[in-house]
Amino acid sequence: MFKMRYLKLAVVLVVGMLALGAVVIAQEPNTELSGDLEIFSWWTGGGEEAGLLALIERFQEQYPNVNVINAAVAGGSGVNARAVLTSRMLSNDPPSTFQVHAGQALNALWVRAGRMQPLNDMFEANGWMEQYPQGLLDLITDSEGNIYSVPVNIHRSNVMWYVPGKLAEWGLEVPGTWEDFLTTTCPAMQAAGVTPIAVGENWTQVHLWESVALGVLGAEAYQGLWDGTTSWTSEEVNNVFTTFAAVLDCANEDRNALSWQDAAQRVANGEAGFTIMGDWAAGYYLIDLELEPETGFAWAASPGTSGTFMMLSDTFGLPVGAKNEEAARAWLSFIGTAEAQDIFNPLKGSLPANITADITNGDLYNAYFQSAYTDWTTNAIVGSLQHGAVAPPAFLDGFGNVIASFAANRDASQATANAATLALQTGIGQ
Ligand code: GAL
């Protein structure tokens, strides 16, 4: 079944490429570029890895003499990869190119430190200024108009995953708000011996927190956390933490030992009712677990967030001192194309960032993608904290500790005071 699915996808991809016509078919491989090309990311398993490997395979057809080194470091949300990257950058040993989130993860760290090379020439030469949404271009551009990375996708953070047949068995519905979840869903599931919400290690708790914050505050006040118009010590933010505490009381106690995949799997198994995770979980359900969208797994906006799409984007940049810069530029020029994005995203669970990609093709992009695309193009858009869009890495790192302490002591006033201090120290709202 696994093979069949890959086969089907491969057939669709090949047919899609043929449809692109002579450009792809007639393109002679470039044999002049050679040497090692080290691609650094945190995609080491399942749909994520499959997507990356499919990209590398197509790239190698075009550049057969380039030796691609897949330098992926395991760990969800790049928790380990980002630390390894930092130490390599500090010892002047950057990879040829590396994965980095669009937004503050890129700008407040590597761009500010002068460690990235602008890519405006590439964007202009490829016609990409018209092929990427302006809001996304803004996230990868500095105040002087320099563009510093190439986006490969758009992911959604505020998604709640479940299995429809299980919900029906338990006689429950998808909760529309956190209040519904806490007063109806959670007690009913606990009475049935099911974990209401599956959560994993620290970063997945921050991921859950950002969905709770969006659900409790609404899009505007959530956005205000990052532009300084919502005070961290306000009553509303205090409510976010008290709601978050109640949600944690509905979660599995062994959470710190679980990866995001483990948590997602508990939902698929029927051990847990829901999990809140970005839509790389769609890639996991589709590719790793071979489940069908809408029956094997289903999705809804996380409680209270219907009408808002919390986005993030995986991008690749060109560090100063990149090894084999020419090959790195060829890689970046490739991954920004519609062709590359249609190879990558159906496996990854994300939407193509390049708007000329074939997203409306239902054979390539199934029901999950169609639903995400509708929301992406009609909803209010806000950025993810955990996945680098809205806050500097220094804030995020400190906030992981705030959440760890809060999970242990449930002290909302300490948590909001610490978050307020962090915001001040890291320049949020200034
Ligand atoms: C995110 C990243 C996704 C996915 C996820 C889980 O930060 O943007 O592409 O890799 O982490 O590791």
Of all residues in the chain, what percent carry a pLDDT higher than 90?
Answer: 93
**Residues 144-169 pLDDT 10s:** 999 999 999 999 999 999 999 999 99
Q: Which residue has its alpha carbon closest to ligand 1 atom 8? A: 314
Q: Which atom of ligand 1 is nearest to the CA of 314?
A: 8
Is 23 buried (19+), middle (13-18) or exposed (0-12) by CB count in 10 A? exposed
Question: H or E segment at 137?
Answer: helix 134-139
What is the chain's mean pLDDT, rounded?
95
> How confident is the model over 296-308, as a mean pLDDT?
98
Reported as a pLDDT band with limits 50, 70 and 90, residue 429 is: confident
Give the model confidence (pLDDT) of 86-107 as tens digits: 999 999 999 999 999 999 999 9
Q: Is 349 in the pocket of ligand 1 (CB under 6 A)?
A: no
Q: Which domains, ranges and CATH numbers included, belong to the chain?
A: 2-154+314-369 (3.40.190.10), 156-310+381-426 (3.40.190.10)
Ligand 1 nearest-atom number relative to CA 350? 9
pLDDT given for residue 430 in this prediction: 81
Strands 308-312 and 155-156: antiparallel
Work out the widest C-alpha separation in the chain, in whole angstroms.
Answer: 66
Q: How far is the CA of 373 from the centre of ligand 1 (A)?
A: 18
pTM: 0.94
Measured CA to CA, the distance from residue 10 to residue 359 in angstroms comes to 16
Average pLDDT of the residues in 191-198: 98
Confidence of residue 403 (pLDDT cuts 50, 70, 90): very high
Q: What is the mean pLDDT of residues 253-260?
A: 98
373 pLDDT more than 70: yes
Tokens representing 113 are 């430190």
- pLDDT, position 14: 46
Q: What residue's CA is closest to ligand 1, atom 12?
A: 76
Q: For residues 162 and 184, what is the distance between their CA atoms, to the nearest angstrom?
A: 16
